[in-house]
Structures are given as C-alpha cells and as structure tokens.
C-alpha cells in the first residue's frame, strides 16, 4: 500500500488538526447514527494522538468502547476529475468511517493504514464531513488479544500485555488525489552481484486508461542510472552504492504511467539496494555479518500516548545514535511509517513486529488470577483469531515490504510455544509470511517458560529470538547464578545452528535510586546486570545481537510489579539517561 505523496500528478492534504471528539460509553452512537450530524457534546482533541491521557478524567483515561471523531474537510476545487482518497495511517484498534452520510470503510487492527476511494462521495470545491468511530476493545479475536470485564466501575479493559492500551487516531489522516488511472502498488526486491546492484520491480496499476509503464532509477544526486519499460522487470546498476547499516543510501525509483507523450501518473519510491541472508549462525547484510546493537522500543510518550510525533522520533533516533545502537525492534506492533522511512534514510536496521503479543494464556492467567481455556483452542485463540493474525501479517508486509531498513519479520512476541496447538496455529503463519516475502527471514520471540528442548516454535523461524530476564524475574538479584543459567541456555540454543538474537533483556530501574551493593531497582544493578549479559554474549559465538529491554521507561496499567510504568528503560520516559545508558554506550561505541 503506497504512501500518499505530492508530485506532478498527485496532491495530498494532511487532516491533522483539532477534531471534535465524543466518548460513547453506552454504545449509543452507532444506533443513533451520530455520523449524520454534529457529534453530541463534543470537545476538541488533537489528531494524531491517543485520547487516553489528554484530560484529567478517569472516564476518559479508562474509557472502554467506542469514541467518535469528526472534522470537516474542504476538497480542493482543482481536484475535479481526479480520484480522491481518504486515508488513515492507523486507528487503534478498529474503526468505521463515514463521509457525510455514507459509510466508506471499516478496518480491523490498530497499527496499519487503511483508505477509501471517496471520489463519488465528495464534490471538489465543497466541504465534506468526516466521522470516524474508533473502538479500543480487545478480545480473543483481536490483535493484540485481551478481554473486557464488567466491574462496579463499569467496563474495564484487560490487555494481555503490560503496556497501556492507548487508543485513538494515532497517526496522520490524509485526503489525497491521484489520476483516475494510477500507480496502485510497487514492489521492489534488490540484489548485489559484485559491484553491480539489481532492482527487480513490479508495478500494479489500476484505472480505465490504457497506459505504458516506464521506470527510471535515479541516484541521490538525481542522476539517472537505469531505465526500463513494462510493468515488471529488472534494473541493473553498475558500481552500485548499497544501502547498509550506518549508511542509508537511497535511490529513487520513479514509476511513470505514460500514454504517448503524456505522463498520466508518476510515483517515486525510495529504494535501498541491499541483501539479507542467513548463513549458519550468521546474519548477513550485503554478505557481511551483522551484529544487532539496540533496543526493543515502544511508541510511548507522556500526554500524547502512542500518537506519532516527529519531534520525539528525531530525538529517539538521535539518542540511539549517541548510544551506539544500530537497530531496534518495533515491539510490539508496527510503528508509524515515518519511523521506517527515517530508519531507511539513516541506515538503521529494523525488526518489524506484528501486534501479536500476549498469546500465552497460561502466563496471563497467572497474572490476572483467573482460569482461561487453553491458549490455542476453539474458545480462546481460534481460527478467527488466526485469520485476524494472518490479515495483520498481510497488511504489515504490504506496507513495509519495500523498506531496506526492515531485515526481519517478527510474527509474535512470547506466545505459548511448547504445545502441539501452538505449532498448528503458527505453522501456517510462518508459511504465509514467507510466501508474502521470500526475501526476509522470519522469527518470533520466545519466552523463558519454554526454554530450549521445550519450545517448538523456534524450529519454524530463521533466527532464534530470545527474551530473557535471568537476574531479574529469575534469580532476582543473584547475578552469579543468573550468569550461569544464561550461559547454559545460550549454549543449548547454539546447538540449533541458527543465529541467536537476544531480543529482550533488562531490569526495572528507578532513575535516582542508588545502592553501593547493587540492589535490584537501582541504577547500579541495571548496569551490573547488563554487563553480565554482555560478558555472556561475547562468549557464545552464535549470538548475533543484543536488544536491551527497553529503550525508555513506558506507561503500563498499575500493578504490583509496576511503579509508575515499566522502568526497564535505559532512558527515563522523558528521555534522560540512567547510569546504564553510559555503560551501554561504552560497549556499543567499542563494537561500532
Ligand atoms: C516481556 C515482554 C515485554 C514486557 C517485559 C517486562 O517479556 O515481552 O513486553 O514489557 O517482559 O518488562 O515485563
């Protein structure tokens, strides 16, 4: 799914602004048809942002169910004759959209874009009313899964993960136009042969006119380096400048639809020429072993919640550069496309994760103190859930397939992984991901409850991904015991002959809490614990990467385990360094 862009044949308007907003705690809006007029009792909220933390009101922060957004958009007169599209970069977790009185699109899943062709529902030169209902409920059939309880205080959402269930219109909303005959999709796969690069391309077009396809590859200075005609083909670039970690060199692939001399539509796709391959226990980018240094992150900030914000994005990337990170995982859901584009341009490596987190009812049942059916079973995560998961993977790959920064798909975080049922659930999803994208490896992050010998899912993946908390959740405070256990486990996994990525390790740490004898929760302990992990990683050659959990402290619902959120950040929630940031920096600057 192509991002809207401005160009000679296209124009876009960003609808980010203050929108009218109404909570709907009794689910009245859908039956009363709130889209037919102005929203009742509305107030203003910013788009994009989570609505969750905007107001000092429990009814907003803890709201479960529908919320309504509305705005008025002026459709430019100059767009007459064009195809006009309304696009939401995300709505968490599902949405229905109306333009004036007409329903134009519904979408399930909170982290991927969706759009509607609204050409027949708007009149250029006039305004249209856009109304969106966004539902933040989770269930066994949503991704991520969770449940909603009815308590004395009303509905309560219980996600099966630790991060806050932020909701709303989290990313930009666009109205854009294209010609009636237009470039609908472009797929590129790149290769390297000696000093030459190849770009296999495939263009999907739509619309009534007969057109020819012309593609041109331009280097970063705008110099044409290759050209071809036809909807698919291979471009060859002699003396290619590859995209590589640390250097996000990008070409532009310009796709023109032409009819005689006329350019009917034109779309420009940035392309990084690089390869990804697994060889034994090595993770190769452009044929060279790559070692992941970085973090699991969250899209999370005070007040704006999960709302995308360029200011924070640039700052986070700057801090990752300062500390010497070269990569991160989009834990635990696809991030805004702006983030991937930034990573493309700056040579930062990304593990792209679908919003499958909390698929382990044995563990969740313990936390929530209740009995659940078996995780993967007809009354729990069933065929419908699996199809929702499959669709989320389809949408993730469709959106992100062309990003050179993305080198690995992560299709779940810490699912139940030691049962026959988990294999039956995941086998088709691994196969689907590979069918959609045969060029990138696939993995899923394993949890300590299913160690080597018990786990059955890592055998399906290309990279062993391990989340480990020895010294914290296990052997709490006992680093010598933790070191032994970690070493033994990594050595066991190394016998699989696959690269091992430690996709999470970390300790909750209250910034400003100190002790001479490193005690859990202090800054000193976090430093000692991370350094212990690093010693072990250096002794196991199959380890190809270390992603500290987490880049920064982040918001969670209250619980006996959380003191004002999850405190495993190396930075605080407002991005101040803890002592560990300097320790990690010393190591990563050396590994650079
Ligand atoms: C995990 C999860 C992560 C949590 C983390 C923790 O294993 O993957 O989402 O935040 O543990 O700190 O509890």
3-state secondary structure 233-287: EEEEECCCCCCECCECCCEEEEEEEEECCEEEEEEEEEECCCCEEEECCEEEECC
* Residue whose C-alpha is closest to residue 110's, from 93, 133, 127: 93
Measured in Å, residue 211 CA sits from the centre of ligand 1 at 51
pLDDT surpassing 90 at residue 366? no
Top-confidence residue, 530 or 592: 530
Measured in Å, residue 565 CA sits from the centre of ligand 1 at 12
Establish whether residue 329 lines the binding site of ligand 1, counting it when its CB lies within 6 angstroms of any ligand atom: no
> Span 157-172, mean pLDDT?
96
pLDDT band at 1 (very low <50, low <70, confident <90, very high): confident
Report pLDDT for 474.
95
Phi, psi of 78 (to 5 degrees): -65, -10
pLDDT surpassing 90 at residue 368? no
Establish whether residue 504 lines the binding site of ligand 1, counting it when its CB lies within 6 angstroms of any ligand atom: yes
Q: Give the C-alpha separation, 143 to 138, whole Å.
A: 8
Probe residue for ligand 1, chosen from 504, 550, 553, 569 as the CB with the greatest number of ligand atoms within 8 Å: 504
Q: Is 504 a catalytic residue?
A: yes
pLDDT surpassing 90 at residue 245? yes
Measured in Å, residue 468 CA sits from the centre of ligand 1 at 9
Establish whether residue 413 lines the binding site of ligand 1, counting it when its CB lies within 6 angstroms of any ligand atom: yes
> Span 277-290, mean pLDDT?
98
Q: Give the C-alpha separation, 329 to 550, whole Å.
A: 10
Q: Which atom of ligand 1 is nearest to the CA of 332?
A: 9
> Span 283-287, mean pLDDT?
98
Minimum CA distance residue for ligand 1 atom 7? 467
Establish whether residue 330 lines the binding site of ligand 1, counting it when its CB lies within 6 angstroms of any ligand atom: no
pLDDT surpassing 90 at residue 152? no
Probe residue for ligand 1, chosen from 330, 473, 566, 570 as the CB with the greatest number of ligand atoms within 8 Å: 566
Measured in Å, residue 160 CA sits from the centre of ligand 1 at 11
The predicted-structure confidence for 52-106, as pLDDT tens digits, reads as follows 999 999 999 999 999 999 999 999 999 999 999 999 999 999 999 999 999 999 9
Catalytic, out of 395, 504, 523, 546: 504
Q: Share the mean pLDDT of the chain.
A: 97
The predicted-structure confidence for 536-574, as pLDDT tens digits, reads as follows 999 999 999 999 999 999 999 988 889 999 999 999 999
Probe residue for ligand 1, chosen from 164, 549, 557, 573 as the CB with the greatest number of ligand atoms within 8 Å: 549
Q: What percent of the chain has pLDDT over 70?
A: 100
Q: Alpha-carbon torsion 32, 37, 41, 47, what sign?
A: positive
Establish whether residue 66 lines the binding site of ligand 1, counting it when its CB lies within 6 angstroms of any ligand atom: no
Q: Give the C-alpha separation, 341 to 400, whole Å.
A: 10
Q: Which atom of ligand 1 is nearest to the CA of 566?
A: 12
Report pLDDT for 248.
98
In the chain, what are the domains?
11-178 (2.60.120.260), 182-274 (2.60.40.10), 330-467 (3.20.20.80)
Minimum CA distance residue for ligand 1 atom 4? 162
- Taking a C-beta distance cutoff of 8 angstroms, is the pair 386, 374 a contact? no
Residues near 477 by beta carbon (within 8 Å), at least 6 away in sequence: 471, 519, 520, 525
Measured in Å, residue 579 CA sits from the centre of ligand 1 at 21
- Taking a C-beta distance cutoff of 8 angstroms, is the pair 153, 139 a contact? no
pLDDT surpassing 90 at residue 154? no
pLDDT band at 276 (very low <50, low <70, confident <90, very high): very high
What is the helix (H) or strand (E) element at residue 391, kind and residue range? helix 383-400
> Span 505-520, mean pLDDT?
97
> Span 128-134, mean pLDDT?
98
Measured in Å, residue 162 CA sits from the centre of ligand 1 at 7
The predicted-structure confidence for 457-511, as pLDDT tens digits, reads as follows 999 999 999 999 999 999 999 999 999 999 999 999 999 999 999 999 999 999 9
Report pLDDT for 560.
87
Catalytic, out of 414, 416, 523, 546: 414
Measured in Å, residue 350 CA sits from the centre of ligand 1 at 19
Establish whether residue 547 lines the binding site of ligand 1, counting it when its CB lies within 6 angstroms of any ligand atom: no
pLDDT surpassing 90 at residue 38? yes
Report pLDDT for 168.
98
Q: Which atom of ligand 1 is nearest to the CA of 561?
A: 13
Q: Which atom of ligand 1 is nearest to the CA of 473?
A: 13
Establish whether residue 568 lines the binding site of ligand 1, counting it when its CB lies within 6 angstroms of any ligand atom: yes
Q: Which atom of ligand 1 is nearest to the CA of 331?
A: 9
- Name the DSSP letter for residue 164: -
The predicted-structure confidence for 370-409, as pLDDT tens digits, reads as follows 899 999 999 999 999 999 999 999 999 999 999 999 999 9
Measured in Å, residue 412 CA sits from the centre of ligand 1 at 13
**Pairing of the two strands 66-74 and 127-135:** antiparallel
Report pLDDT for 456.
98
- Name the DSSP letter for residue 53: T
CA distances from 443 to 409, 412, 453 (A): 6, 8, 17
Measured in Å, residue 239 CA sits from the centre of ligand 1 at 44
Report pLDDT for 537.
98
What is the helix (H) or strand (E) element at residue 32, kind and residue range? helix 28-32
Q: What percent of the chain has pLDDT over 90?
A: 97
> Span 323-344, mean pLDDT?
98
The predicted-structure confidence for 196-228, as pLDDT tens digits, reads as follows 999 999 999 999 999 999 999 999 999 999 999
Establish whether residue 162 lines the binding site of ligand 1, counting it when its CB lies within 6 angstroms of any ligand atom: yes
Establish whether residue 566 lines the binding site of ligand 1, counting it when its CB lies within 6 angstroms of any ligand atom: yes
Establish whether residue 414 lines the binding site of ligand 1, counting it when its CB lies within 6 angstroms of any ligand atom: yes
Establish whether residue 503 lines the binding site of ligand 1, counting it when its CB lies within 6 angstroms of any ligand atom: no
> Span 454-458, mean pLDDT?
98
Residues near 37 by beta carbon (within 8 Å), at least 6 away in sequence: none
């Amino acid at each position: 799914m192509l991002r809207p862009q401005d160009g000679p044949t296209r124009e876009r308007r960003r609808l980010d602004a203050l929108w009218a907003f109404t909570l709907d705690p009794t689910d009245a809006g859908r039956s009363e048809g709130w889209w037919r007029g102005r929203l009742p009792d509305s107030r203003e909220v910013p788009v994009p942002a989570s609505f969750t933390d905007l107001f000092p009101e429990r009814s907003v922060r803890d709201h479960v169910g529908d919320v309504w957004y509305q705005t008025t958009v002026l459709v430019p007169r100059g767009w007459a004759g064009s195809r006009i599209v309304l696009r939401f970069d995300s709505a968490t977790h599902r949405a229905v959209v109306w333009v004036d009185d007409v329903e134009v699109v519904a979408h399930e899943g909170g982290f991927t874009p969706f759009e509607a062709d609204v050409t027949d529902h708007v009149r250029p030169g006039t305004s249209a009313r856009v109304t969106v209902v966004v539902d933040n409920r989770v269930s066994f059939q949503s991704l991520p899964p969770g449940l909603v309880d009815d308590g004395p205080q009303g509905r309560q959402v219980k996600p099966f993960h630790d991060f806050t269930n932020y909701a709303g219109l989290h990313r930009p909303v666009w109205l854009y136009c294209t010609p009636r005959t237009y470039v609908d999709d472009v797929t590129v796969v790149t290769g390297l042969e000696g000093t030459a690069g190849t770009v296999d391309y495939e263009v999907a077009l739509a619309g009534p006119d007969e057109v020819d396809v012309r593609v041109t590859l331009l280097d970063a200075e705008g110099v044409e380096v290759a050209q071809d005609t036809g909807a698919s083909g291979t471009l060859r670039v002699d003396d290619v400048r590859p995209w590589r970690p640390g250097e996000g060199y990008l070409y532009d692939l310009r796709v023109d639809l032409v009819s005689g001399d006329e350019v009917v539509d034109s779309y420009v796709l940035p392309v990084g020429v690089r390869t990804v391959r697994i060889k034994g226990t090595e993770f190769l980018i452009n044929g060279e072993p790559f070692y992941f240094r970085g973090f699991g992150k969250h899209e999370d900030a005070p007040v704006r919640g999960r709302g995308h914000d360029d200011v924070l994005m640039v700052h986070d990337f700057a801090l990752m550069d300062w500390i010497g990170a070269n990569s991160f995982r989009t834990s635990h859901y696809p991030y805004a496309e702006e983030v991937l584009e930034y990573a493309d341009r700056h040579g930062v490596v990304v593990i792209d994760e679908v919003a499958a987190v909390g698929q382990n009812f044995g563990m969740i049942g313990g936390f929530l103190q209740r009995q659940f059916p078996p995780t993967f079973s007809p009354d729990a995560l069933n065929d419908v859930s699996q199809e929702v998961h499959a669709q989320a993977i389809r949408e993730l790959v469709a959106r992100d397939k062309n990003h050179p920064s993305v080198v690995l798909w992560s299709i779940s975080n810490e699912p139940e992984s030691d049962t026959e049922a988990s294999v039956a659930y995941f086998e088709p999803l691994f196969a689907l991901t590979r069918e959609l994208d045969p060029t990138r490896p696939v993995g899923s992050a394993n949890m300590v409850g299913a160690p080597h010998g018990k786990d059955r899912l890592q055998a399906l993946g290309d990279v062993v991904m391990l989340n480990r908390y020895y010294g914290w959740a296990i052997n709490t405070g006992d680093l010598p015991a933790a070191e032994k256990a970690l070493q033994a486990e990594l050595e066991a996994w190394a016998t699989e002959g696959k690269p091992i990525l430690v996709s999470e390790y970390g300790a909750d740490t209250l910034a400003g809490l100190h002790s001479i004898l490193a005690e859990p929760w202090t800054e000193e302990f976090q430093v000692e614990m991370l350094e212990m992990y690093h010693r072990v990683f250096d002794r196991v050659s199959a380890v190809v990467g270390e992603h500290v959990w987490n880049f920064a402290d982040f918001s969670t619902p209250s619980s006996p385990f959380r003191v004002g959120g999850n405190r495993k950040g190396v930075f605080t929630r407002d991005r101040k360094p803890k002592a560990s940031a300097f320790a990690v920096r010393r190591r990563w600057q050396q590994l650079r």
